[in-house]
């Protein structure tokens, strides 16, 4: 097969998403014949003890405690940003100016203005860029996209999305960065609602206008910090103000006339990560739930009378997107594989000198919708995009 050229990765950040991205780079060559071989060159974080531990555990060759030094290195081709949201813009703009390709976690930035500056920087410096909306890369979601593009469900009337979690429902859950507007930008809206908005744009089309309501149920929490994944620790002796939304509900009109409804909350007890959507069209319907991510439910109106209804498609056949790279039919894959698919697409784009999606343009459009939702909730009116 010959020796493949290496693509040298520098990652800024190392916790939840750092683990997911590191695993994707390491497993990518095992499943996919990508023309580039990712090298985990350097990982960076402010806490030297923690980042050194992450470097050793996740297989990186070196570590830095200052992200500026990563950008200055000649042995880094790609900057992968998995920091809290407030750091995305500064790092991405500097990386673009240093001539590095960039992939970043979502949402793209804290504000529309920041996101637009990021897009301008990558375009001006002619580097490839991607935003990590990984749910696009679930085989069942890709299958849904194919069915819609084939016209199998006809004109779309409804897009209905719920993203439900419950990890902060305990009022003693600490006040971590995800609950501070100056660090995260928003709460449930930007953390999980942004995913639903991206899936809506990917599957149905652009939004035209929105109206929304938002609520913060717990106004104060003990000061604390994330400890990995969605876990945290805090000190109940000191309290701080929650400055983001706990839940958001959105009505939307799409440019193509589709009627959209969205709900995102981190207060839906019993729902650990229920990211789901249903799409209703003139000739059928599609629905999907991340907690059963390998399955796609499809209803087709032209089925014979008496046997109509939703059928369950287990998207693990070789004919299904990405599934042929893995196991025999019925042997399911998981959350971590969505990142492998995304990284495969990103690195192929770099090798072929083409811009992949979702990218910073998608991130800007998503950011504008997030801002319109917040404006609508504050002003209690419809807001046009």
Tens digits of pLDDT across the chain (385 residues): 579 999 999 999 999 999 999 999 999 999 999 999 999 999 999 999 999 999 999 999 999 999 999 999 999 999 999 999 999 999 999 999 999 999 999 999 999 999 999 999 999 999 999 999 999 999 999 999 999 999 999 999 999 999 999 999 999 999 999 999 999 999 999 999 999 999 999 999 999 999 999 999 999 999 988 777 777 777 767 899 999 999 999 999 999 999 999 999 999 999 999 999 999 999 999 999 999 999 999 999 999 999 999 999 999 999 999 999 999 999 999 999 999 999 999 999 999 999 999 999 999 999 999 999 999 999 999 999 9
Give the closest residue to 132 by CA, choosing from 183, 96, 79.
Answer: 79
- In the block, tokens 């900057």 appear at 79
Q: Is 185 helix (H, G, I), strand (E, B) or coil?
A: coil
Give the closest residue to 190 by CA, choosing from 278, 268, 106, 112.
Answer: 106
* Domain positions in the chain: 6-134, 138-356+365-384
- Both tokens of 359, joined, read 């990218």
Domain range 138-356+365-384, CATH class = alpha beta
pLDDT at 1 (0 to 100): 55
Angle between helices 16-31 and 48-58 (to 10 degrees): 20
Q: Is 214 helix (H, G, I), strand (E, B) or coil?
A: strand
C-alpha–C-alpha distance, residues 128 and 360, integer Å: 9
Angle between helices 360-379 and 112-124 (to 10 degrees): 170
pLDDT at 237 (0 to 100): 79
Q: At the topology level of CATH, where does 6-134 sit?
A: Rossmann fold (3.40.50)
C-alpha–C-alpha distance, residues 194 and 164, integer Å: 13
């Amino acid at each position: 097969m010959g020796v493949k050229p290496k693509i040298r990765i520098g990652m800024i950040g190392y916790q939840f998403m750092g683990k997911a991205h590191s695993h994707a780079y390491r497993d990518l060559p095992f499943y996919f014949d990508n023309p580039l071989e990712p090298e985990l060159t350097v990982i960076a974080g402010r806490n030297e003890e923690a980042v050194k531990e992450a470097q050793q555990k996740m297989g990186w060759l070196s570590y830095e405690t200052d992200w500026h030094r990563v950008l200055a290195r000649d042995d880094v081709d790609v900057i992968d940003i998995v920091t809290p949201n407030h750091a995305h813009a500064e790092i991405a703009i500097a990386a673009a100016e240093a001539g590095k390709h960039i992939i970043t976690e979502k949402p793209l930035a804290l504000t529309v203005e920041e996101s637009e500056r990021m897009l301008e920087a990558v375009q001006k410096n002619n580097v490839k860029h991607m935003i990590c909306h990984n749910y696009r890369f679930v085989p069942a979601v890709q299958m849904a996209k194919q069915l819609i593009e084939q016209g199998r469900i006809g004109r779309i009337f409804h897009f209905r999305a719920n993203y439900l979690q419950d990890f902060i429902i305990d009022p003693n859950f600490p006040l971590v960065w995800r609950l501070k507007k100056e660090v995260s930008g928003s709460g449930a809206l930007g953390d999980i609602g942004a995913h639903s908005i991206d899936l809506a744009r990917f599957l149905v089309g652009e939004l035209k206008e929105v109206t929304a309501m938002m609520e913060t149920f717990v106004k104060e929490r003990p000061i604390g910090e994330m400890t990995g994944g969605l876990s945290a620790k805090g000190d109940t002796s000191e309290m701080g103000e929650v400055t983001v939304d706990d839940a958001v509900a959105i009505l939307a009109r799409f440019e193509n006339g589709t009627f959209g409804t969205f709900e995102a909350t981190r207060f839906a007890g019993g729902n650990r990560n229920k990211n789901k959507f249903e799409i209703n069209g003139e000739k059928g319907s599609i629905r999907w739930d991340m907690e059963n991510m390998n399955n796609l439910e499809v209803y087709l109106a032209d089925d014979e009378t008496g046997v109509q209804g939703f059928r369950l498609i287990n998207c693990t056949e070789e004919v299904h997107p990405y599934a042929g790279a893995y196991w025999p039919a019925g042997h399911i894959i998981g959350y971590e594989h969505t990142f492998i698919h995304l990284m495969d697409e990103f690195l192929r784009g770099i090798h072929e000198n083409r811009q992949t999606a979702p990218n910073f343009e998608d991130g800007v459009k998503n950011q504008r919708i997030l801002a319109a939702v917040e404006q609508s909730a504050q002003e209690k009116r419809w807001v046009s995009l």
